Structure 1
Amino acid sequence: MSVGLKTDRQGRVFIAGGGSRQLRVVDGRTGRILATYEVGRPATVVNDVVLTPGAAWFTDSTQPQLYGLPLGPRGELPHPREVVTLPLGGEWAEAPAEGFTTNGLERTPDGLGLLVINVYADGGSLYRVDPRTGGARRVDLGGAKIPDGDGALLLGRTLYVVQQFQNAVDVFRMDATGLRGRAIARITDPRFRVPTTVAAYGDRLYLPNSRLDIPPAPGTQYDAVAVRRVP
């Protein structure tokens, strides 16, 4: 299983392995698996990944913690014993009985923190997490809720949050710290069929349609939709 992914300047693909509980690093040119790290416990769902200058961070949708792969000065991958498990504390709220809580994540505009989507807390919230301590603070989104928040993409100070079953992308303008944001737009498109994540290329955003609203079948069609970015 492969869910979230990010590529680095070395052409490596960092993959969140979903229910396989794996963090994988793959050579994007050859497809060769460079490293595999197993984390969590049987209920773990490794959902999304974001790259920072010193680490790759992954969410766990069923446990209040993140996983980190610390990278060396030249991007060297860590030994398995160096994988970081970062418990989430502070204002973080977890769904009861190992329910689904954490989804996508991004960096804060100032690069000092992580923005983590929590689909359970207060009807769907965004948190700023200190990657050194795991301390979490709820981000003030001006009353906006993200109960279906999935993939997240930060471009400058503009944060795009994919609300999958709403077939929409909510757009926020964030402050530098990532502790405050205001809704500036909502992107919808009749071609959306439960998009789950988003990537940017040029002046467009690209969203894969997951079709999570129907049972998969041999004839199920999958595609991606391109829409214009918010200026």
Structure 2
Amino acid sequence: MHRSLDRRRLLTAGAALGGAALLAPFAGVAHAAESAGKGWPARLALPDGFQPEGIAIGSRPYAYFGSLRDGSVYAASLATGRGRIISDGTGAMSVGLKLDGAGRLFIGGGYSRQIRVVDTHGGAILATYDVGTPTSMINDVVLRPGIAWFTDSYRPVLYGLPLGRHGELPPADRIITRSLTGEWLQGADFTANGIERTPDGRALLVVNVALDGGALMRVDPRTGDARKVDLGPLKIPNGDGLLLLGRLLYVVQQAQSAIDVVRLNEAGTKGVLVTRITDPGFRIPTTAAAWGDRIYLPNARFDVEPTPDTDYDAVSVARI
């Protein structure tokens, strides 16, 4: 891949060290247990050369991974670690992905500028939407009641895919483009990354790697008004995937191979760092999904040049 996902600022060593230094005075470090419990594997092997980025887990113990290489989707059993490709690649990458209750994956298509919806039961592509401009990079996604929101890492906008009363997919002319305003600062290149909801469900949380050394923004989805979340001294220069469990927000700091766990207030306007999770199995993880008392993360390995023989995996760590 010639455009090596500079969206991640993945080799910004100075930023990574700076973030670690900020954390040291006031946060402990939580090292994950080696066992996944119940005899389930703590590591899931992915196909060689797969180039994973996103992960989704629904109401059953299966994890779904998207490929940056060709957009294919791989499904793995959390109980056994075994898996298979369930949707062949189209040549358009799969970045962030989320799974709904009907077994549909909502996928950000990266530089292809696509939003895709894939049926996990048969692997069929149910819909494809072209959004953005030639400079867009459709990155992460969050599902909210009646709508899926996607980030564009190179433009200050969110894309909304509104769903029908019974979850029907919309026609292309109903896609919402919501401009980000207020305190949003668009960087010279890659800016927006992971996206989640606030604990009260009224707003969205979006990573902005360009603002103030890496910040978390609270966005009103009705207007696009963005305000910086008060995280105290915590910076998230390598903030990638976000995972909200109750009021705990797991922020994957991919180039630092760590997860910062932040306790938010209900409105998502303020947060306090609880701890940092590290693990020897982390090899630049990007996103996170939960099952039971475990958090699962794919290792993107952005620090190596991908080849057809490069090994990839996902690892699990204990929830806080």
Task: State the 4+ residue runs in structure 1 displaced beyond 4 angstroms.
Answer: none
- 1:158-169 maps to which residues of 2 (within 5 A)? 158-169=248-259
Letter of the 1:15 counterpart: I
Q: Does 1:73 align with 2:177?
A: no
Q: TM-score, normalised by structure 1?
A: 0.98
- Measure how far apart 1:72 and its partner are: 1.2
Could you tell me which runs of 5 or more consecutive residues in structure 1 were left unpaired when the two chains were aligned: none
Q: Does 1:133 align with 2:231?
A: no
Q: Does 1:184 align with 2:251?
A: no
Which deviations, in whole Å up to 9, do the C-alpha atoms of 1:187-225 show, x marking residues without a partner? 001111000000101100001000100100232110011
Q: Counterpart of 2:207?
A: 117
Q: Counterpart of 1:202?
A: 292
Q: Counterpart of 1:10?
A: 102
Question: 2:312 is paired with a residue of what secondary structure?
Answer: coil
Q: Does 1:216 align with 2:303?
A: no
Question: 2:255 is paired with a residue of what secondary structure?
Answer: helix
Letter of the 1:2 counterpart: S
Q: Distance in 1 between matches of 2:300 and 2:150?
A: 20
CA-based RMSD of the aligned residues comes to 0.6
Question: 2:212 is paired with a residue of what secondary structure?
Answer: helix
Q: Distance in 2 between matches of 1:54 and 1:219?
A: 41
Q: Distance in 2 between matches of 1:79 and 1:143?
A: 44
Pick aligned residue for 1:46 from 138, 141, 144: 138
- Measure how far apart 1:83 and its partner are: 0.1
- 1:86-105 maps to which residues of 2 (within 5 A)? 86-96=178-188, 99-105=189-195
**Count of residue correspondences:** 228
- Measure how far apart 1:57 and its partner are: 0.2
Question: 1:141 is paired with a residue of what secondary structure?
Answer: coil
Question: 2:173 is paired with a residue of what secondary structure?
Answer: helix
Q: Distance in 1 between matches of 2:133 and 2:168?
A: 26
Q: Counterpart of 1:228?
A: 318
Q: Counterpart of 2:235?
A: 145
Pick aligned residue for 1:19 from 100, 111, 117: 111
Letter of the 2:137 counterpart: V
Question: 1:78 is paired with a residue of what secondary structure?
Answer: coil
Q: Distance in 2 between matches of 1:121 and 1:64?
A: 13
Question: 1:31 is paired with a residue of what secondary structure?
Answer: coil
Q: Does 1:193 align with 2:283?
A: yes
Letter of the 1:139 counterpart: V
Letter of the 1:113 counterpart: A
Question: 1:81 is paired with a residue of what secondary structure?
Answer: helix
Q: Distance in 2 between matches of 1:52 and 1:217?
A: 36
Percent identity between the two aligned chains: 64
Q: Does 1:154 align with 2:244?
A: yes
Q: Distance in 2 between matches of 1:13 and 1:149?
A: 23
Q: Distance in 2 between matches of 1:119 and 1:59?
A: 13
Which of structures 1 and 2 has the larger relative contact order (alpha carbons within 8 angstroms, sep 6+)?
2
Letter of the 1:54 counterpart: G
Letter of the 1:76 counterpart: E
Letter of the 2:133 counterpart: R
Q: Distance in 1 between matches of 2:121 and 2:95?
A: 19
Letter of the 2:131 counterpart: V
